[in-house]
Amino acid sequence: MSLDTIDIVVFIAYVIGLIAVAMYVSREKDGHEKGANDYFLAGNSLPWWAVGASLIAANISAEQIIGMSGSGFKIGLAIASYEWMAAITLMIIGKYCLPIFLEKKIYTMPQFLEERFDSRVRVTMAVFWLGVYVLVNLTAILWLGALAINTITGVDLMAGMIFLGLFSVAYSLYGGLKAVAFTDIIQVVLLIFGGLFLSYTALDLIGQGEGIIAGFAALTEQAPEKFDMILAKDSEHYMDLPGLSVLVGGMWIMNLSYWGFNQYIIQRTLAAKSLREGQKGIAFAAFLKLLMPVIVVLPGIAAVVLLPNLERADQAYPQLMNLMPVGLKGLVFAALVAAIVSSLASMTNSIATIFTMDLYKSDAKPRSEQHYVKVGRFVSLGALIIAMIVAQPLLGQFDQAFQYIQEFTGFFTPGIVVLFITGMFWKKTTANAGLCAAIGSFVLSLVLKYSWPTLPFMDRVGIVFLSCLAIAVVISLIENKAQEKAIDLNNVSFKTTGGFNIATVAVIAILIAFYSAWW
């Protein structure tokens, strides 16, 4: 089904407006040229509201909206644990990790690893992250985004990917992170209101025009099996979300890796004006994460009643959009594209940052700041082109792309979390120990996947984490070397403001209420 003229006008106005805003915020004062800090860290100028909005805009993309709605259609509300548990994870990162990162004044996560360990760890992890970002994350954003555009407008998948790539380049390539972060305010507002309206319309249709409360009540009556937060062992989806493991097991490892040690996400907080601004931004993002299941999971559950005969679960959100009235469909479509292109821009900027600052830049052959900015722009373009080429071969055959991404990254995240946690909080951790934990994570995950196929991947993540932690501790104790680069925690202040502490308590209380209601 194609968009009506009014919908197209609304969408075009959004595209033009966003590019105009990006150009405005990217302008430089007379005589000043963008340096590496300006391009990759927005000149450390981001206020809390820009940090928080950019965190959500970078996180919520096609893989979340399309993928999680698809999982909502197939699994139910239990998939919302990825969103709700992320809220408390963000507060932990804000209190215990961000102070260390900002004290080090770093550009990238691999740079931090070199300052704590050595260059081997930096290069190894930089190459790993570039591979994952280009071949997994960027491809997923492009493929699922193009799939949504194809479902709604009938545009060819490759044409859709090219459009998304060109759109993200048009507003982000020149301005870098500053353009991305400040336009993310618009993107998040559009995403939230467009997503809420879609959920409202779906519930109102289920309630036969009697409002969202009647619609939600009817939805819980007609699809009660979709409202179990903790899945029992006899559930067909237990392998994806194994019971209490979402509260006390491997999901913590997945969330800590994603929100705390992932360049694509943490780069926004590294660009904050100050530690306090960064922590306020994280708290803002945490509350937005509590809202996200209403936008990205509830529509998928509603589709169980409204569109029960879908061929693919990931078609749930795009097909629901076709039920929107003329004009408003254009707004919801713009919100979806906003989420996609903001994540594309964020991802390509992070790819450019890691390649330029961790692999290309060399103290032995110094270059001008403007040279590194140019390199970053070329890398951004190259990453998009590669992702477009490999997207369909890698993701075209998966029914639930979100679950595929989680399982794939689960091979590596246990070792990454061990590498960072022990590196930050245990002075005896050696570079060899950290490398062995990181590499051992993939090996152990592979062994467990094929030798114990009935083990849910989230439980596997927990087991591999504990195993890698043991490996790191044993190797560090055997080497027993003084670690001159160890973090001196006495020089880092973990004290947080009263507002941050109150926000943490509020997040915990809300989570307890949610899980109590839908246990």
* The total number of residues written for the chain in this structure: 519
Q: State the Cα torsion 106-275-348-418 to the nearest 10°.
A: 70
Asked whether residue 400 carries a pLDDT value surpassing 60, the answer given is no
pTM of the model: 0.89
What's residue 334's pLDDT?
A: 83
Asked whether residue 298 carries a pLDDT value surpassing 80, the answer given is yes
Cβ neighbours around 218 below 10 Å, total = 17
126 pLDDT band, cuts 50/70/90, is very high
What's residue 470's pLDDT?
A: 97
What's residue 62's pLDDT?
A: 65
Interatomic CA distance for residues 249 and 124, integer angstroms: 27
Averaged pLDDT for residues 169-193:
78
416 pLDDT band, cuts 50/70/90, is very high
318 pLDDT band, cuts 50/70/90, is confident
What's residue 288's pLDDT?
A: 94
Interatomic CA distance for residues 424 and 97, integer angstroms: 8
Helix extents (H) in 207-327:
212-222, 245-248, 250-260, 263-270, 275-296, 298-306, 316-321
What's residue 31's pLDDT?
A: 54
Cβ neighbours around 495 below 10 Å, total = 8
Averaged pLDDT for residues 466-477:
97
In the chain, % of residues over pLDDT 90 = 43
What's the one-letter identity of residue 316? A
Cβ neighbours around 284 below 10 Å, total = 20
What's residue 332's pLDDT?
A: 78
| Cβ-contact 151, 318 below 8 angstroms | yes
Asked whether residue 32 carries a pLDDT value surpassing 70, the answer given is no
In a domain, residue 514? The reply is no
| Cβ-contact 267, 350 below 8 angstroms | yes
Q: For residue 112, give the CATH number of its domain.
A: 1.20.1730.10
Lowest mean pLDDT segment, chosen from 11-20, 127-136, 390-399, 481-490? 390-399
Interatomic CA distance for residues 464 and 457, integer angstroms: 10
Lowest mean pLDDT segment, chosen from 214-223, 337-346, 414-423? 337-346
Question: How far lies 139's CA from each of 65, 126, 289, 394, 468, in Å?
Answer: 15, 18, 24, 8, 29
Interatomic CA distance for residues 230 and 514, integer angstroms: 12
Asked whether residue 336 carries a pLDDT value surpassing 70, the answer given is yes
Of 358, 433, 425, 486, which is closest to residue 92 (Cα–Cα)? 425
Asked whether residue 461 carries a pLDDT value surpassing 90, the answer given is yes
Across the chain, mean pLDDT equals 87
What's residue 433's pLDDT?
A: 96
In a domain, residue 518? The reply is no
pLDDT: which is higher, 177 or 436 = 436
- Listing DSSP states for 242-262 in one string gives -TTHHHHSHHHHHHHHHHHS-
What's residue 391's pLDDT?
A: 83
| Cβ-contact 70, 316 below 8 angstroms | yes
In a domain, residue 462? The reply is no
Q: At what angle do helices 275-296 and 81-92 cross, to 10 degrees?
A: 170
- Listing DSSP states for 22-89 in one string gives HHHHH---TT----HHHHHHGGG-B-HHHHHHHHHHHHSSHHHHHHHHHHHHHT-GGGGHHHHHHHHH
Asked whether residue 43 carries a pLDDT value surpassing 80, the answer given is no
What's residue 110's pLDDT?
A: 93
In a domain, residue 507? The reply is no
pLDDT: which is higher, 145 or 26 = 145
Cβ neighbours around 26 below 10 Å, total = 21
Structural domain that includes position 30: 5-400
Which residues make Cβ contacts (< 8 Å) with residue 384, sequence separation at least 6? 138, 142, 165, 168, 169, 344, 348
Interatomic CA distance for residues 60 and 62, integer angstroms: 7
In a domain, residue 295? The reply is yes
In a domain, residue 442? The reply is no
In a domain, residue 469? The reply is no
Asked whether residue 66 carries a pLDDT value surpassing 80, the answer given is no
> Across the strands, what pairs with 272?
46
pLDDT: which is higher, 94 or 175 = 94
- Listing DSSP states for 318-365 in one string gives HHHHTTSPTTHHHHHHHHHHHHHHHHHHHHHHHHHHHIIIIII--TTS
What's residue 408's pLDDT?
A: 74
Averaged pLDDT for residues 375-394:
89
Interatomic CA distance for residues 268 and 279, integer angstroms: 11
Vertex 135 angle, CA 108 and 98, to 5°? 25
| Cβ-contact 57, 339 below 8 angstroms | yes
In the chain, % of residues over pLDDT 70 = 95
| Cβ-contact 150, 323 below 8 angstroms | no
What's residue 401's pLDDT?
A: 57
The total number of structural domains that make up the chain: 1
In a domain, residue 147? The reply is yes
Cβ neighbours around 469 below 10 Å, total = 17
What's residue 314's pLDDT?
A: 76
Of 94, 87, 90, 117, which is closest to residue 424 (Cα–Cα)? 117
DSSP symbol at 313: G
Averaged pLDDT for residues 274-278:
94
28 pLDDT band, cuts 50/70/90, is low
Interatomic CA distance for residues 160 and 76, integer angstroms: 29
What's residue 153's pLDDT?
A: 81
DSSP symbol at 224: G
396 pLDDT band, cuts 50/70/90, is low
Name the token pair of 173: 């390539």
What's residue 399's pLDDT?
A: 55
What's residue 499's pLDDT?
A: 94
